[in-house]
Amino acid sequence: MLSLNEIEGLREILPRIPKNILFEVIVVDGGSTDGSIEFAESFGYKVLRQRSKGIVNGIKEGFAALTGDVVIQFTPDNNMIPEKIPELIAKMEEGYDMVVVSRYLPPAKSQDDHLISGFGNWLFTAMVNVLFRTRYTDVLGFYRAYRINLLKELDLEIKLSIDTQLNIRCAKRKKKVAEIPGDEPPRIGGKSSRSIIWNGLVELHTILDEWWHYSR
């Protein structure tokens, strides 16, 4: 779980996380000053204080601390519904390598999208489906579960577009992937640090780079 000054979201989300079915919950904090760290610790969660700034470094440090076989990516900003966690786990237990909570697989919907982000999500998903002959509905979705050893099997580099890269390389290597529908409610508190333009360029570069190597 990634957090940075998410106290409002944490108050809403943490009590709803089904701790009894999870092996461990790790909160990677990017330097909160609003009480997020103390609140997470009060629930008995392990909190890692990031040594380096940025989402990518947070993901790297979180992965380094994991001891389980499967990771569930999660952010406590209300965009991800914790009640989907049992369904994610159940689907993984059917033998899937990765299960994505799709914001666009009916009847799910995103209440956090605006015109630009909604178009970008549609465009990049469509590009992946056309270029790699897949049928995904949400390649950019962060909320997902997957086997940790996929990172090594797929020779993945942990970067900003890791989710898109996971979808593409799973398709290339014929890994077993499923999507389950899951709404994306509006964000609570905090502030997204992502730049729509910069993120869009990163996603575009990742897709075209993967296609170039795939088509040769």
Please tell me the predicted confidence (pLDDT) of residue 43: 86
Show Cβ contacts of residue 32 under 8 Å, excluding neighbours closer than 6 positions: 3, 4, 5, 6, 7
Query: What is the mean pLDDT for each group of 10 consecutive residues in the chain (216 residues)?
Result: 91 92 93 93 91 87 91 94 97 98 97 90 97 97 95 87 94 97 89 75 94 77
Please tell me the predicted confidence (pLDDT) of residue 192: 62
How is the chain split into domains, by residue range?
Answer: 2-215
The residue to which tokens 């993984």 are assigned: 92
Instruction: Using DSSP, state whether 31 is helix, strand or coil.
Output: coil
Instruction: Assess if CATH 3.90.550.10 describes domain 2-215.
Output: yes
The answer to whether 210 and 169 have CB atoms below 8 angstroms apart is: yes
Please tell me the predicted confidence (pLDDT) of residue 22: 93
Please tell me the predicted confidence (pLDDT) of residue 52: 86
Please tell me the predicted confidence (pLDDT) of residue 104: 97
Please tell me the predicted confidence (pLDDT) of residue 205: 93
The answer to whether 138 and 102 have CB atoms below 8 angstroms apart is: yes
